[in-house]
């Protein structure tokens, strides 16, 4: 029986899932990466973008304006490599906070459960912290706590119960073991803290952000709608284009969420501090509630904190982390965020790729037809013209089996409304406004294309103006199709839905068309200079980077030879034995080149050859006969082949210090790149049982050697 996709239930959809099938579409969830010392360089930012980063986050709780200014400049420089494919820049404020003063002499002071002491608000105690008295810099603390309340310190590691409230102090008893330290954070769950939304540091940072042209503000510890208004007022006329995404991380923020949602441009569920403010077991309820309300309102929602935390120091995530990311996507998060994993972690690129892989597979489990029906039923009628058009376009994409929706927009509102209705296909956003192009990364499924061709000159008559407008729209649609074809988002003759306004200006979106992906006129393909077309794959699309010469040669040699005579000797995979022998000879020759290069001090060149060689072997593993037990070439021993490749890696790593010049030395970023490559190869070979096995790739030994090189730097 054929089930109408429009009427399929969620359970019917889920029971039809099949892990043997590849995901049907490209990834739609955006990935936010926190940039830190390890990922600040142009080279690393470029690699992060190739891996799938959509938004670059700068955490202003750490680092100077000089440091963050350099990071912003490097992100912008990376955009020169990705012509016409913008990445958003987000400034994450430190926010209002409560901290302890300094302990006497700056030493840590251990204490045990049951220890009683005084938390003082008297500034004279600020530098004299002891087991008897410790300064806390929130003067209204006695007014917002009461006996029986809990005060947490150092990210919730230490807990104190309030025994007595005094005029300028609070008496507490320790409920955990711990050590008093200088300048530690303090949390007051359940208390109505009256700190200002913007500290002096926040104001300085926001002014800096406006000067630097950031696209998004992640506003920390937002408790009321007025906090959002205060930030918007501080941004002023120059910063009115900046999108404000509030971070909900306190009980007050949860209680006042509806009024905050009405005022903000987006929401981040900051689960770290939230998990201290409320019981950890309740965080998932808040996550689901906030996500649902944002989905219904059509406002972006971000899930953050410890999503792949273990990948800060390990090449693979835990199963719990995989489920966490997957469930955030299934709940409806537009973006998922990496913090320490990319700011300071050892495997930043692999963490981004892993986040992308998990998100893509999670999206394939979403029951889009019932989800669309739920979203459409959740809105209050009547809706405005723009939303009605976007809802119709999402429905048409479902009924027409369209492969993409093209959105012509100035402010990004129509793109956000399209995203609200969660079409299962990419939303190709074409805009002349660069900030809009960056900011639409906040909304799920949006792929921005910056259209740089200037607006046409004003027409003489109203009729000419309408014709001119439509011609300009048609050129932008063709520009989107051309870029999508180039990037692999569309195939020729795919059905495409487009939405536009009937005239120029904001708020006029009211027209939908059903088109075919084709380029009739080459001139229409150019929308801007040819170089502005996508030069790299979009996140989630197939890797379109050039193959190495050896990979191409092996593919050619190892393809079944249909022209060969039937009597010629063949391997089990249909490839002639002579071709296999030629391929193995070439691989042995490349290994010799690597060792010769190492001995001559040409370290970088040698590792480049070795990396491309290993890539080629992994890609051609089955064709080479390395994935099967039976030899495909007489007298060929798989164990000798793998031993040769693995020993070449280990010998090369033992001699990295033999570089003939500074320019030939491996640097930190080279080692990190090699580590990520090793993990990627091991993942690909694991399906054949060819990892950490005599006849396979020695991942553990090679990773240990790479770690040793990294530590010696």
- For residue 349, pLDDT over 50 is answered with yes
Closest by Cα among 308, 99, 278 to 185: 99
Sequence-ordered strand ranges (E) for 309-360 = 335-338
- What whole-number distance in Å separates Cα of residue 551 and Cα of residue 537? 19
pLDDT for position 553: 52
Q: Assess contact for 197 and 227: CB atoms under 8 A.
A: yes
CA neighbours closer than 13 Å in the CB half-sphere of residue 459:
14
99 is catalytic: yes
Q: Which residue has the higher pLDDT, 246 or 155?
A: 246
The whole-number average pLDDT for the span 596-605 is 83
Percent of the chain with pLDDT over 90: 55
pLDDT for position 71: 97
Can you name the residues that pair with 697 across neighbouring β-strands? 691
Query: Which tokens go with 507?
Result: 């708020």
Which candidate in 50, 83, 223, 247 is catalytic?
247
538-574 burial: b if 16+ Cβ within 10 Å, else e = bbbbeeeeeebebbebbeebbeeeeeeeeeeebbeee
- For residue 508, pLDDT over 50 is answered with yes
- For residue 633, pLDDT over 70 is answered with no
513 is catalytic: no
| Overall CATH class of domain 379-532 | alpha beta
- For residue 17, pLDDT over 80 is answered with yes
Percent of the chain with pLDDT over 70: 86
Which candidate in 76, 94, 99, 466 is catalytic?
99
pLDDT for position 658: 66
Length of the chain: 713
Which CATH superfamily hosts domain 104-187?
PK beta-barrel domain-like (2.40.33.10)
pLDDT for position 564: 41
> What is each CA distance from 267 to 253, 287, 363, in whole angstroms?
11, 11, 21
- For residue 680, pLDDT over 90 is answered with no
Q: How many CB atoms lie within 10 A of CB 31?
A: 25
- For residue 531, pLDDT over 80 is answered with no
pLDDT in tens, 69-120: 999 999 999 988 877 789 999 999 999 889 999 999 989 999 999 999 999 9
Contacts of 554 (CB under 8 A, 6+ apart): 583, 586, 616, 619, 620, 623, 624
Contacts of 40 (CB under 8 A, 6+ apart): 67, 70, 71, 74
pLDDT in tens, 565-588: 433 444 444 445 566 666 777 788
- What whole-number distance in Å separates Cα of residue 169 and Cα of residue 136? 9
3-state secondary structure of 74: helix
Confidence of residue 525 (pLDDT cuts 50, 70, 90): very low
Q: Of 26-30, 483-487, 541-545, give the lowest mean pLDDT range.
A: 541-545
- For residue 551, pLDDT over 60 is answered with no
Q: Of 353-362, 421-430, 548-557, 637-646, give the lowest mean pLDDT range.
A: 548-557
pLDDT for position 487: 84
Q: Assess contact for 379 and 387: CB atoms under 8 A.
A: yes
3-state secondary structure of 319: helix
- What whole-number distance in Å separates Cα of residue 340 and Cα of residue 343? 5
pLDDT for position 616: 84
As its CATH architecture, domain 25-95+197-364 has Alpha-Beta Barrel (3.20)
Confidence of residue 641 (pLDDT cuts 50, 70, 90): confident
Query: Which tokens go with 696?
Result: 């396979």
Q: Assess contact for 679 and 353: CB atoms under 8 A.
A: no
The whole-number average pLDDT for the span 516-532 is 45
pLDDT for position 459: 80
Closest by Cα among 385, 353, 452, 264 to 675: 353
Which of 72-81, 407-416, 610-619 has the highest mean predicted lDDT (pLDDT)? 407-416
Specify the pairing of strand 446-450 against strand 427-431.
Answer: parallel
- What whole-number distance in Å separates Cα of residue 691 and Cα of residue 127? 56
CA neighbours closer than 13 Å in the CB half-sphere of residue 413:
17
Q: Which residue has the higher pLDDT, 17 or 146?
A: 146
Q: For the CA atoms of 627, 629, 634, 640, what is the dihedral angle to 10 degrees?
A: 70
Q: Assess contact for 439 and 412: CB atoms under 8 A.
A: yes
pLDDT for position 537: 34
pLDDT in tens, 445-487: 999 999 999 988 888 887 788 888 889 999 999 999 999 988 8
The whole-number average pLDDT for the span 175-196 is 90
Query: Which tokens go with 84?
Result: 């016409």
- What whole-number distance in Å separates Cα of residue 271 and Cα of residue 284? 9
Q: Assess contact for 32 and 339: CB atoms under 8 A.
A: no
Query: Which tokens go with 30?
Result: 């955006």
What angle do helix axes 42-51 and 668-685 make, rounded to 10 degrees? 20
247 is catalytic: yes
CA neighbours closer than 13 Å in the CB half-sphere of residue 538:
28
- For residue 408, pLDDT over 90 is answered with yes
Token match 């459409």: residue? 376
The whole-number average pLDDT for the span 292-319 is 96
- The CA R_g of the chain, rounded to the nearest whole Å, is 29
Which candidate in 291, 305, 342, 611 is catalytic?
305
Specify the pairing of strand 169-174 against strand 116-120.
Answer: antiparallel
- For residue 532, pLDDT over 60 is answered with no
Closest by Cα among 534, 516, 539 to 450: 534
Closest by Cα among 49, 87, 31 to 333: 31
Query: Using alpha carbons only, what angle is made at residue 329 by residues 543 and 535, rounded to the nearest 5 degrees?
Result: 25
Q: Say yes or no: do domains 104-187 and 379-532 share a fold.
A: no
Q: Of 64-68, 86-90, 375-379, give the lowest mean pLDDT range.
A: 375-379
Contacts of 511 (CB under 8 A, 6+ apart): 389, 499, 500, 501, 502
Contacts of 54 (CB under 8 A, 6+ apart): 30, 31, 32, 87, 88, 335, 441, 539
- For residue 7, pLDDT over 80 is answered with no
Sequence ranges of the domains in the chain = 25-95+197-364, 104-187, 379-532, 549-712
pLDDT in tens, 239-265: 999 999 999 999 999 999 999 999 999
Query: Using alpha carbons only, what angle is made at residue 540 by residues 536 and 541, rounded to the nearest 5 degrees?
Result: 55
Q: Which residue has the higher pLDDT, 232 or 273?
A: 232
Can you name the residues that pair with 564 across neighbouring β-strands? none
Helix extents (H) in 620-667:
638-654
- What whole-number distance in Å separates Cα of residue 215 and Cα of residue 266? 13
Confidence of residue 1 (pLDDT cuts 50, 70, 90): very low
> What is each CA distance from 188 to 25, 104, 330, 360, 654, in whole angstroms?
45, 24, 32, 38, 53
pLDDT for position 90: 98
- For residue 440, pLDDT over 50 is answered with yes
Number of H helices, E strands in the chain: 24, 21
The whole-number average pLDDT for the span 366-383 is 91
The whole-number average pLDDT for the span 609-616 is 88
DSSP letter string, 24-57:
SS---SEEEEE--GGG-SHHHHHHHHHHT--EEE
DSSP letter string, 108-147:
-EEE-TT-EEEEE--GGGTT-B-SSEEEBS-TTHHHH--T
Q: Assess contact for 565 and 617: CB atoms under 8 A.
A: no
DSSP state of 516: E
pLDDT for position 73: 96
* Whether the bond into 382 is cis, omega within 30 of 0: yes
pLDDT for position 6: 65
The whole-number average pLDDT for the span 673-686 is 86
Token match 């929308």: residue? 527
pLDDT for position 579: 62
Specify the pairing of strand 495-501 against strand 509-516.
Answer: antiparallel
Confidence of residue 305 (pLDDT cuts 50, 70, 90): very high
93 is catalytic: no
pLDDT for position 634: 42
Which candidate in 27, 50, 57, 403 is catalytic?
57
């Amino acid at each position: 029986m054929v089930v109408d996709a429009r009427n399929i239930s969620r359970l019917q959809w889920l029971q039809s899932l099949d892990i043997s099938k590849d995901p049907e579409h490209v990834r739609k969830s955006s990935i936010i990466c926190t940039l830190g010392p390890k990922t600040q360089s142009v080279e690393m930012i470029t690699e992060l973008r190739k891996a799938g980063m959509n938004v670059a986050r700068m955490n202003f709780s750490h680092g100077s304006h000089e440091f963050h200014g350099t990071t912003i400049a490097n992100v912008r420089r990376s955009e020169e490599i990705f012509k016409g494919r913008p990445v958003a820049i987000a400034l994450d404020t430190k926010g209002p906070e409560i901290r302890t003063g300094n302990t006497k002499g700056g030493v840590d002071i251990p204490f045990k459960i049951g220890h009683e002491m005084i938390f003082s608000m008297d500034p004279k105690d600020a530098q004299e912290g002891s087991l008897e008295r410790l300064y806390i810099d929130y003067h209204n603390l006695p007014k917002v706590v009461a006996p029986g309340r809990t005060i947490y310190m150092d990210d919730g590691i230490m807990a104190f119960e309030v025994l007595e409230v005094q005029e300028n102090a609070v008496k507490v008893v320790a409920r955990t073991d711990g050590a008093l330290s200088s300048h530690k954070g303090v949390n007051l769950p359940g208390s109505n803290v009256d700190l200002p939304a913007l500290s002096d540091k926040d104001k300085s940072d926001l002014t800096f952000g406006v000067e630097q042209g950031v696209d998004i503000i992640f506003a920390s510890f937002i408790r009321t709608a007025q906090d959002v208004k205060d930030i918007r007022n501080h941004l002023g006329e120059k910063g009115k284009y900046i999108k404000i995404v509030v971070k909900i991380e306190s009980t007050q923020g949860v209680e006042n969420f509806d009024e905050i949602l009405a005022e903000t441009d987006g929401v981040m569920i900051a689960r770290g501090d939230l998990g201290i403010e409320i019981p950890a077991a309740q965080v998932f309820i808040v996550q689901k509630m906030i996500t649902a309300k944002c989905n219904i309102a059509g406002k972006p929602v971000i899930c953050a904190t410890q999503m792949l935390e273990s990948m800060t120091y390990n090449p693979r995530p835990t199963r719990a982390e995989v489920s966490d990311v997957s469930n955030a996507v299934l709940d409806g998060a537009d973006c998922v965020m990496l913090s320490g994993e990319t700011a300071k972690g050892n495997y930043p690129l692999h963490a981004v790729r892993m986040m992308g892989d998990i998100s893509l597979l999670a999206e394939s489990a979403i029951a889009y037809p019932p989800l669309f029906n739920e979203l459409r039923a959740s809105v209050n009628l009547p809706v405005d013209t723009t939303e009605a058009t976007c809802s119709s376009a999402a429905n048409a994409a479902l009924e027409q089996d369209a492969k993409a929706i093209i959105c012509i927009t100035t402010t990004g509102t129509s793109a956000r409304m399209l995203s609200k209705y969660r079409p299962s296909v990419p939303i190709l956003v074409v805009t002349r406004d660069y900030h809009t192009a960056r900011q639409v990364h906040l909304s799920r499924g949006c792929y921005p294309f910056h259209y740089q061709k200037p607006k046409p000159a004003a027409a003489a008559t109203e009729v000419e103006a309408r014709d001119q407008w439509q011609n300009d729209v048609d050129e932008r649609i063709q520009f989107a199709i051309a870029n999508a074809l180039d990037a692999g988002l569309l195939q020729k003759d795919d059905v495409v839905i487009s939405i536009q306004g009937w005239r120029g200006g904001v708020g006029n979106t009211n027209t939908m068309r059903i088109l075919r992906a084709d380029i009739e006129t080459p001139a229409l393909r150019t929308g801007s200079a040819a170089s502005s077309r996508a030069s790299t794959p979009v996140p989630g699309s197939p890797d379109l980077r050039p193959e190495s010469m050896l990979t191409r040669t092996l593919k050619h040699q190892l393809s079944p030879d249909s022209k060969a005579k039937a009597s010629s000797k063949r391997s089990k995979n249909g490839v002639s034995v002579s071709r296999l022998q030629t391929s193995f000879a070439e691989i042995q020759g490349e290994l010799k080149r690597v060792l010769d290069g190492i001995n001559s001090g040409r370290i970088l060149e040698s590792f480049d050859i070795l990396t491309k060689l290993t890539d080629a072997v992994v890609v051609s593993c089955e064709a080479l006969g390395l994935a099967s037990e039976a030899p495909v070439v007489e007298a060929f021993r798989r164990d000798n082949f793998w031993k040769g490749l693995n020993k070449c890696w280990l010998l090369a790593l033992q001699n990295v210090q033999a570089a003939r010049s500074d320019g030939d030395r491996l640097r930190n970023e080279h080692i990190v790149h090699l580590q990520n490559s090793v993990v990627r190869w091991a993942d690909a070979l694991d399906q054949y049982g060819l990892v950490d096995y005599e006849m396979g790739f020695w991942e553990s030994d090679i990773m240990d050697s790479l770690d040793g090189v990294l530590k010696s730097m």
